[in-house]
Amino acid sequence: MKVAVIGIGYVGLVSGTCFAEWGNEVVCVDKHAEKILGLQQGKLPIYEPGLDELVERNYAEGRLSFTSDIAKAVKDAVAVFVAVGTPPRPGRGDADLSFVYMAAREIAPLLAENAVVVVKSTVPVGTGDAVEKIIATKRRRGTFSVASNPEFLREGVAIGDFLKPDRVVIGVADERAREVLMEIYGAPLAKVDAPIVVVQRRTSELIKYASNAFLATKITFINELADLCEQVGSDVGELALGVGLDKRIGTSFLNAGPGYGGSCFPKDTLALLRTAQDHGVALRIVQEAVSVNEARKRKMALKVIDAVGGDVDGLTIAVLGLTFKPDTDDMREAPSVPLIETLQRFGAVVRAHDPVGMDNAAQLLENVELLEDPYECAREADAVVIVTEWNSIQHLDLVRLRRMMRSPILVDLRGAFKAGRAEAAGFYVCAVGRPATRPVKLAPDLFDTRYRLPGANAPSGRGILGGRYDH
């Protein structure tokens, strides 16, 4: 089947490539000529593990192609997937649908007879109705269908999520749309025993927002419990296990940390709230989850400040991990940004490292030295902060890292290191969801300076204790 995909962003490129992997003839179209040229040369505009190999293979075998000519892409396509961006409108929070509506107007006169337009972008309830009206107005003749097919891709594991999904949701208003989408998804998903949920189009649109809002609330819940654990001497990791093994709850999304980020949860929760407000409905739980999450990102900077004794003015803080999660270069709504900005406002000098995301980070951060080597990033630092639990960061030589630093203070916001590991390497550890712990051992001759620990009376906040830190 010939399939067209409008938009070669994260969702469009992953979806188009996977459709081709299933044996369809897929043409991906985007207005950015540099993206098209890069893809034709094997250069991907995003980082996603395994995607480059999949693109290369399907492109070489002729199932996947890229163009900036929308007429060429849409011609004879049985299904046209709209996968353009729907960013939040500044100052309002609702989804900007201008790209979706623009795509609808452009493809309307180009659609083949009985073509199915599938909105894969995350859109508010009723968007499919609006798209249908736009196409009907612009189309001179012939029949068509409009369907909803939201994506549930997690950055870093998107290929697996697409090819072996928990479920696929299809929202249709007629039998033609159902038939075409079942032809695309039916056989491949039957092989992996993945269910296809066929619902009304408006229900499908709402499912995506409801799913992300629930997961965002779950993250916010465990983060608040983590704060309580720190105060009462409990361990949030143990708590999460005990709670998550209840099959009604599940262990996913119970990892305490600095707050959720990325392209979906922040945007989708705000858009859902806006939709609810427009219809006179109060979603108080979702509203509270959004508010708590935003406050938490900056609260993590106060955790760092407390770890070094209450004052970071003039101190050097090394931040390891910048992207909102591992295995992606995505910096959208990353907790590292407000954390760094807050530390800078309190006078800290910040250096940072990320295995993949530094190019994107450089566009968001000011006066931050970005270093390719994590050990060099930690050189002469007064504290190291773990913000993203990349595999390479989790496997750092902690003794070597400690030797590079001026003060052996580690703030682990992601639970990157098992309890006791960093302490055994000589670190004072301040983690999320468990009380701060002192090092098991520390060889004083490894350091040229003395240290201040939380609670010590240190003049001017520069981190010098009257006696050696020798616990």
Query: In this structure, what is the dihedral angle of CA atoms 400, 406, 407, 409, given to the nearest 10 degrees?
Result: -50
What band does 58 get if pLDDT is binned at 50, 70 and 90? very high
Alpha-carbon distance of 315 to 449, in angstroms, equals 14
Distance (Å, whole) CA 111 – CA 272: 31
Per-residue confidence (pLDDT) for residue 145, from 0 to 100: 96
What residues does 410 pair with on adjacent strands? 384, 429
Give the model's pLDDT for residue 140.
Answer: 66
Last residue of a domain, one of 194, 220, 238: 194
Handedness of CA 429, 295, 332, 162 (dihedral sign): positive
Percent of the chain with pLDDT over 90: 88
Whether the pLDDT of residue 443 is over 70: the answer is no
Q: What is the pLDDT of residues 322-344, one digit of tens each?
A: 999 999 999 999 999 999 999 99
Mean pLDDT is lowest, of 79-93, 106-120, 154-168, 277-291, for 79-93
Do 136 and 254 belong to one domain? Answer: no
Alpha-carbon distance of 266 to 88, in angstroms, equals: 9
pLDDT above 60: residue 471: no
CB–CB of 176/147 below 8 Å? no
Residues 6+ apart with CB under 8 A from 443: 426
Tell me, what DSSP letter sits at residue 444? G
Q: Are residues 248 and 180 in the same domain?
A: no
Q: Phi-psi region for residue 355, left (φ > 0), alpha (ψ -120 to 50) or beta? A: alpha
Where is the domain boundary, 140, 169, 194?
Answer: 194
31 and 116 in a single domain? The answer is yes
pLDDT on residue 441: 58
pLDDT of res. 365 = 96
What local confidence, expressed as pLDDT, does residue 439 receive?
86
13 with 294: CB under 8 angstroms? no
User: Residue 448: its pLDDT value, please?
Assistant: 40
pTM of the model: 0.87
Last residue of a domain, one of 159, 174, 194: 194
Determine which helix (DSSP H) or strand (DSSP E) holds 145, and give its type and residue range.
strand 144-148
| 249-305 confidence digits (pLDDT tens) | 999 999 999 999 988 999 999 999 999 999 999 999 999 999 999 999 989 999 999
- Helix/strand/coil for 246: coil
Q: Are residues 209 and 190 in the same domain?
A: no
Residue 267 is inside which H or E element, if any? helix 265-278
> 407: closest CA among 308, 334, 338?
308
Domain of 184? 2-194
* Whole-angstrom distance, CA of residue 284 vs CA of residue 118: 32
Which residues are annotated as catalytic?
Answer: 264
How does residue 94 score in pLDDT terms, banded at 50, 70 and 90?
confident
Q: CATH number of the domain at 74, please.
A: 3.40.50.720
Q: What pLDDT sits at residue 449?
A: 41
Q: What is the mean pLDDT of the chain?
A: 91
Whole-number pLDDT of residue 451: 46
Number of domains observed in the structure of the chain = 2
Q: pLDDT band at residue 361, thresholds of 50, 70 and 90? A: very high
Q: Are 207 and 190 within one domain? A: no
